[in-house]
Amino acid sequence: MTRSAAPGTRLAPAPPALPAPASAPERCPLCASGRTALRFPARGGNVVEARAYACTSFGHRRHPPIWRCQACGLLFQEPRPSEAQLLAAYGDVEDPIYLAEKENRLLTFRRAARLLGEAAGRRLLDVGAYCGFFVEVARERGFDAEGIELSRWAAGQARARGLAVHNETIAERAARGARYDVVTMWDVVEHLADPRRDLELAARLLRPGGLLVLSTVDAGSRVARWLGPRWPWLMDMHLFYFDRRNLPALLESAGFRVLARRDYAHTVSAGYLLRKLEASFPALRWLARGLRPLVPSRLPIPVSLGDNMAIVAERR
């Protein structure tokens, strides 16, 4: 999670800082419109470190300035970390809390896997496979599944369970000339330095007619709009916040035909949900603490507030 100092090393270097804040972005990184406005001012520190980039990060509502494009509705951080900073931070991520949530992640992924249809031996690549839980679910359903993952720790966890999870980027995978029938990206696109480029790479990894299935937070959802600055998914690690119009439009321009948009639910344990509730809404700490002794902490709870979406698209 943090850089651990090997014996004999000096103090770990300070985490790299973000570029100095721009007065205002010149244009929207998605549609290039010049009509952008500050939506949420910066909250929290100005550093890029692995702790903030773990899947189970509790750094809710800590982020650089977030802007809104008036033309396409995209919310985006600016300044954003450089790609090199992101690769270094994700490479260092360690996330033991995620392992403890394995059973619930499997429940989430088994439900998500229904979006893929029958396996029929199809080749599948899970991008951002983390500890390999979705690769495991896909294999149990009959897919010939493998994954790619930046975190050395997470890819190692997957490989230790006999799963093919490669510690490489989507560009490196595409450069190998690999081809798949299905590419999945669960809660990944909002983390990418360049979503358009990586979706184009996903298209290159798919045979024509192959499926891309992805999930992400929905900044246009009623819950997100109602909560405004209190929406818990405003986080350092989320660089882009799409909605149900601009993400399908991006997919169409990156070589896909969008087939379906769905709500996406995460199953979490009651104990984890209460911790998230407390971290996300400090004003409700009393409620979270009061409920904790009353609810079995391992109880699985599917959470769907309409602010997570799944999209199924076909490579043209």
Using the rule CB under 5 A, is 297 a contact of Zn ion? no
Q: Rounded to the nearest whole angstrom, what is the least distance from the CB of residue 219 to Zn ion in the complex?
A: 12
Sign of CA dihedral 241, 244, 249, 255: positive
Q: Which of 55, 57, 45 is nearest to 18 (CA)?
A: 45
Using the rule CB under 5 A, is 131 a contact of Zn ion? no
Using the rule CB under 5 A, is 312 a contact of Zn ion? no
Using the rule CB under 5 A, is 31 a contact of Zn ion? yes
Contacts of 175 (CB under 8 A, 6+ apart): none
Using the rule CB under 5 A, is 202 a contact of Zn ion? no
CA distances, 71 to each of 66, 201, 235, 286 (Å):
16, 26, 23, 41
Using the rule CB under 5 A, is 33 a contact of Zn ion? yes
41: tokens are 């001012």
Size of the site for Zn ion (CB under 5 A): 8
Using the rule CB under 5 A, is 71 a contact of Zn ion? yes
Using the rule CB under 5 A, is 30 a contact of Zn ion? yes
Chosen residue from 18, 54, 66, 69 binding Zn ion by CB under 5 A: 69
Q: Rounded to the nearest whole angstrom, what is the least distance from the CB of residue 68 to Zn ion in the complex?
A: 9
Count other Cβ atoms within 10 Å, centred on residue 192: 19
Q: Rounded to the nearest whole angstrom, what is the least distance from the CB of residue 73 to Zn ion in the complex?
A: 7
Contacts of 160 (CB under 8 A, 6+ apart): none
Q: 25 or 232, CB closer to Zn ion? A: 25
Which of these segments, 15-23, 72-80, 106-114, 257-265, binds Zn ion (CB under 5 A)? 72-80
37: tokens are 């406005």
Strand partners, 301: 268
Q: Rounded to the nearest whole angstrom, what is the least distance from the CB of residue 71 to Zn ion in the complex?
A: 5
Torsions phi, psi for 136 (to 5 deg): -65, -45
Radius of gyration of the chain (CA): 19
Which of these segments, 7-15, 61-69, 99-107, 217-225, binds Zn ion (CB under 5 A)? 61-69
What residues make contact with Zn ion under the rule CB under 5 A? 28, 30-31, 33, 69, 71-72, 74
